[in-house]
């Protein structure tokens, strides 16, 4: 599970270094919530955005 979130955070870093540093500074529970939010955003973007 953590590996998935790390991948999500790393992929979000490529788009926004600031968000990545904020995520690194957060506690693990905050990062877990943020990872869930990022994952939801990515899923929403790709599934709704895809034809």
The answer to whether the predicted template modeling score (pTM) of the entire model surpasses 0.85 is no
Spatial distance between the Cα atoms of 8 and 5, rounded to a whole number of angstroms: 5
pLDDT of residue 38: 82
Q: What are the pLDDT digits (tens) for 6-49?
A: 777 667 666 665 666 666 665 566 667 777 888 888 777 777 66
Is residue 18 within 8 Å of residue 47, measured between CB atoms? no
Q: What are the pLDDT digits (tens) for 33-45?
A: 777 888 888 777 7
């Amino acid at each position: 599970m953590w590996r998935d979130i790390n991948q999500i955070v790393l992929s979000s870093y490529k788009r926004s270094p600031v968000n990545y540093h904020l995520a690194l500074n957060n506690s693990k529970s905050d990062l877990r919530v943020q990872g869930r939010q990022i994952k939801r955003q990515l899923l929403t973007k790709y599934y709704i955005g895809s034809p």
